[in-house]
Amino acid sequence: MHFTLRKNITANLKKPQVQLFLISLAPRLIFYLLMLTQLDAGQMSSYYFDTSQYVKAAEAITERFDFDTYGVYTYGPGYPSILALLGYVISPDPRVLVFIQILMGAVGSVMLYQFSLKLTGDHRISFVAGMINGLSLESIGLANVLLSETFFFTILLTGLLVYWRGMETNRIAYYIAAAFIFASAALIRPAVQFFFIVLLFISLCYTLSGRERTWRSVFVRLRGPLVMSGIIVVVLGSWIGRNASVYQMPYLSMSGPMGMAKLFCMIKADLTGTFYGDVYKGFKENLKLVEGVEGHYQETLSEQARDSLLTVLRQEPTASIGTFLESVWTSVVSEWGAHYNAFPKLKDKLRRITFWFFEKRLNYREVALASIGLIIILMHAKYRIALVLIVIFVYFAFLSGFTIWQGARIFYPGQLAWTILAAYLLVFLYNLYNLLARKIRQHNLI
């Protein structure tokens, strides 16, 4: 019996999914245990402003089933509901919640491996992509703080896997399941609410690049993605309708209007040579002067943000686009400072290390690896793979331009694309090294 058990354990440890889970779990646990030596439960609940609002919203849901809190209408109901459910079923202790999130983060690396394997069909590339995610500082840090990214990342990948299964089998059931998964992801982080458009585009390109291109075959292949998109619109539309009724705010959350407000303030700061923080402060102060703002703050902010952004885009289109692209680039090449708050006793030393990364231009490593990896994919004529990864990367990069001072956190979902691109490069270099080594050995034998 013991021999059989040991044999089964050994066999399971050889599975790439198990190996990736353990590789990803180890650094997250080390980070977690070290963090516990410097933070107590109260500090973990107020790690960031966003963290404290998520915790307060979860408590309101648990105690009063109250969804009319800052944390819900600003960020969406998804993550506070997850914290509330876990807190009710297991424990509301933030140390327990973070530990569960660590497990979810390790699962995310496995899901990335599975998605990459579906996309590329290459086990080595997929394993390297999952390992990059597992050892990524952003991924490790985010798993150890009560923020929505870790759950969002894993749920988004789950949706992609189910959606891809739908493309392989053309069965409506998979698309329906994917629709609810993607809708759940959007309620966690509203940035993904338009992701179904990306998926429709991918489905269309895959259909048109196939052998059958008749109108009937195109319709049959797109029927599932269209049903999926319709369900997502209905589910998210119901929450948008609820917000429009309660707050006169026809958005999934306040993150949409706030994103427009932040972009307007960034553009205005660049045009006037003023510090962004002062411009944003002035924008919020002006909101208080608007007639009828009392009791209608969300509605007023939404209208003012939209009107201000549209006005500056019409008046200064070139400068506005320049500011937006600069914001995108800054987010894509940022380093996230989660470790500052996790290790307050080491804050100064960790800041110096981060600044050293910027001085040595090491913050460009992800973009550099992904760009070269993309070139290699195109050289091998893997155009459909390149298309999928490019549109996912561009989608999340584009949305990161609507905020500031968020660091690598805001572009974290793009990791499901750039890790695969980087893995292509690393596996290519490994194969090239083996080829050259073999030729050298053959030459020496001759």
pLDDT tens across the length of the chain (446 residues)? 555 656 656 666 778 999 999 999 999 999 999 999 988 888 888 878 889 999 999 999 999 999 999 899 889 999 999 999 999 999 999 999 999 999 999 999 999 999 999 999 999 999 999 999 999 888 998 999 999 999 999 999 999 999 999 999 989 999 999 999 999 999 999 989 999 999 999 998 888 876 666 677 778 788 999 999 999 999 999 999 998 888 888 888 888 888 888 989 999 999 999 898 888 888 888 877 776 677 677 788 888 888 899 999 999 999 999 999 998 998 888 876 666 777 878 777 877 877 777 777 878 888 999 999 999 999 999 999 999 999 999 999 998 888 876 767 788 888 999 999 999 999 999 999 998 988 888 877 65
Under a CB-based contact definition with an 8 Å cutoff, are residues 65 and 85 in contact? no
Q: Distance between CA 240 and CA 263 in Å, rounded? A: 22
Q: In terms of Cα–Cα distance, which of 57, 79, 406 is closest to 262?
A: 406
Computed on alpha carbons and rounded to an integer, the radius of gyration of the chain in Å comes to 23
Residue 143 to residue 44: CA distance in whole angstroms: 12
User: What is the tens place of the pLDDT at every residue in 232-248?
Assistant: 999 999 999 998 888 88
Give the tokens for residue 260. Answer: 């427009």
* Helices 276-289 + 297-315 axis angle, to 10: 130
pLDDT score recorded for residue 46: 84
**What are the Cα distances from residue 181, in Å, to 4, 161, 200?**
38, 10, 16
**Tokens linked to 154:** 């894993």
Task: Please work out, in degrees rounded to the nearest 5, the angle formed at the alpha carbon of residue 210 by the alpha carbons of 396 and 203.
Answer: 30
Cα-based distances in Å from 100 to 48, 89, 341, 431:
19, 12, 20, 38
User: Within 13 A of 362's CA, how many CA atoms are on the CB side?
Assistant: 8
Secondary structure string (H, E, C) spanning 90-129:
CCCCHHHHHHHHHHHHHHHHHHHHHHHHHHHCCHHHHHHH
Number of H helices, E strands in the chain: 22, 0
The DSSP-derived string for 289-343 is HSTT-TT-HHHHHHHHHHHHHHHHHHH-HHHHHHHHHHHHHHHHT----HHHHH-
DSSP string, 245-265: HHHS--SSSTHHHHHHHHHHH
Per domain, the residue ranges of the chain are 169-251
User: Which pLDDT score is estimated for 12?
Assistant: 65
What per-residue confidence (pLDDT) applies to 440? 86
237-280: pLDDT as tens digits: 999 999 888 888 888 888 888 888 898 999 999 999 989 888 88
Residue of 119, 122, 199 lying closest to 156 (CA atoms): 199
